[in-house]
C-alpha cells in the first residue's frame, strides 16, 4: 500500500491553508544534479577518484603491460561509480522531500528527508536576499534573517548558505531558473514591506470622560 508522508498538507509545501488574501507566487524544488554538485561536492569527488586512477596507472605502467596497467585502475573506477551513485541518491531524496514556496506574504521552506521541518519566514523578518547564479541557470537564494530568528546550520543543511554559520542563513538551494525566482521574490518582498500597517486605535476613555 502506498503512503504519502505529506498527505495531510492542504496545499503542497504548506502546513495549513494560507490566510485570505495571501497568494502563492511560486513553488519549486532543488535540481537533483545541481544539489549533488553544490551541496554534496559531486564534482570534487569525481576529481579525487580521477587523480587516484591516474596515480595508480602511473605507478604500474612501467612494470606492467599497458592493458594490465589500465586494468589496475578499474577498482578505483568501480568505487567511484558506487560513491557517485550514493551521492546522487542522497541528493534525489533531499530534493524529493523539499518544497520551497514564495507567497505574497512570506517564504515557506518544507525541508528534511528524515526529520521534516517547515520554516515560515515573513518578509519583515528577512533583511536581505543574495542570489548565487550558475551558468546552467540554477542558483541559490540565501536569506539573511533579522531579529530573534536563529537557525542551526545542521538542522538547515543542505538548505543553508555554504560556509555561513554565525548566524546560519536558510537558502533556496540549487533551484532551476533562479534569476526569475529571485525577481518574483524581490517584487513580493518589496510590495509586502511597503504595505501600510493598519492598527486599531484604543480610545482613551479617561480623556473622553474629562471632556
Residue of 41, 38, 46 lying closest to 138 (CA atoms) = 38
> Coil, strand or helix: which one is 176?
coil
What does the pLDDT read at residue 200? 52
How many residues make up the chain in this entry? 211
The string of pLDDT tens digits covering residues 30-47 is 999 999 999 999 999 999
Shared-domain flag, residues 71 and 140: no
Cα separation, 118 vs 86, in Å, equals 26
User: 2 or 134: whose pLDDT is higher?
Assistant: 134
What does the pLDDT read at residue 9? 67
Q: Does position 210 have pLDDT exceeding 60, yes or no?
A: no
Name the pairing type of β-strands 106-111 and 99-103.
antiparallel
Number of domains observed in the structure of the chain: 2
Shared-domain flag, residues 112 and 87: no
Report if residue 200 sits inside a domain: no
The string of pLDDT tens digits covering residues 137-151 is 999 999 998 866 677
What does the pLDDT read at residue 194? 66
Shared-domain flag, residues 87 and 104: no
Element (H, E) at 81: helix 74-96
Asked, as a colleague might, if the bond just before 158 is cis with ω within 30 of 0, I would say: yes
User: 150 or 128: whose pLDDT is higher?
Assistant: 128
Report if residue 6 sits inside a domain: no
Report if residue 10 sits inside a domain: no
Q: Does position 198 have pLDDT exceeding 70, yes or no?
A: no
What does the pLDDT read at residue 16? 83
CA distances from 77 to 49, 51, 73 (A): 7, 11, 6
Shared-domain flag, residues 86 and 108: no
Contacts of 22 (CB under 8 A, 6+ apart): 103, 104, 105, 106
Shared-domain flag, residues 116 and 157: yes
Q: Does position 17 have pLDDT exceeding 90, yes or no?
A: no
Domain at 134, CATH number = 2.30.29
Report if residue 48 sits inside a domain: yes
Q: Does position 5 have pLDDT exceeding 70, yes or no?
A: no
The domain in which residue 110 lies consists of 24-30+99-193
Report if residue 86 sits inside a domain: yes
Shared-domain flag, residues 173 and 108: yes
For the range 169-172, what are the long-range contacts, defined as Cβ-Cβ under 8 Å and sequence gap of 24 or more?
A: 169/142, 169/143, 169/144, 169/145, 170/109, 170/119, 170/121, 170/142, 170/143, 170/145, 171/140, 171/141, 171/142, 171/143, 172/28, 172/30, 172/100, 172/107, 172/109, 172/140, 172/141, 172/143
pLDDT cut 90: percent of the chain above it: 60
pLDDT tier at 180 (50, 70, 90 boundaries)?
A: very high
Q: Does position 208 have pLDDT exceeding 90, yes or no?
A: no
Beta strands in the chain (DSSP E): 24-28, 99-103, 106-111, 117-122, 126-133, 139-145, 160-165, 168-175
Shared-domain flag, residues 180 and 103: yes
What does the pLDDT read at residue 130? 93
Report if residue 17 sits inside a domain: no
CB atoms under 10 Å from CB of 38, counted, come to 22
Predicted structure pTM score: 0.82
Q: Does position 100 have pLDDT exceeding 60, yes or no?
A: yes
* pLDDT, average across residues 91-117: 92
User: 153 or 147: whose pLDDT is higher?
Assistant: 153
Amino acid at each position: 500500500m502506498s503512503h504519502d508522508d505529506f498527505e495531510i498538507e492542504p496545499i503542497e509545501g504548506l502546513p495549513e491553508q494560507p490566510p485570505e488574501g495571501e497568494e502563492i507566487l511560486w513553488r519549486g524544488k532543488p535540481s537533483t544534479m545541481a544539489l549533488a554538485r553544490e551541496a554534496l561536492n559531486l564534482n570534487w569527488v569525481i576529481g579525487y577518484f580521477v587523480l587516484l586512477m591516474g596515480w595508480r596507472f602511473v605507478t604500474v605502467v612501467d612494470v606492467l603491460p599497458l592493458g594490465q596497467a589500465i586494468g589496475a585502475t578499474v577498482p578505483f573506477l568501480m568505487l567511484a561509480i558506487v560513491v557517485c551513485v550514493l551521492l546522487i541518491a542522497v541528493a534525489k531524496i533531499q530534493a524529493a522531500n523539499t518544497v520551497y514556496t514564495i507567497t505574497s506574504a512570506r517564504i515557506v521552506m518544507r525541508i528534511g528527508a528524515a526529520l521534516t521541518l517547515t520554516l515560515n519566514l515573513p518578509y519583515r523578518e528577512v533583511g536581505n536576499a543574495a542570489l548565487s547564479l550558475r551558468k546552467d541557470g540554477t542558483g541559490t537564494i540565501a536569506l539573511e534573517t533579522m531579529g530573534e530568528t536563529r537557525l542551526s546550520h545542521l538542522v538547515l543543511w543542505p538548505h543553508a548558505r555554504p560556509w555561513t554559520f554565525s548566524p546560519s542563513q536558510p537558502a533556496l538551494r540549487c533551484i532551476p531558473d533562479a534569476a526569475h525566482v529571485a525577481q518574483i521574490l524581490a517584487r513580493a518582498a518589496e510590495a509586502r514591506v511597503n504595505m501600510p500597517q493598519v492598527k486599531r486605535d484604543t480610545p482613551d476613555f479617561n480623556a473622553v470622560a474629562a471632556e
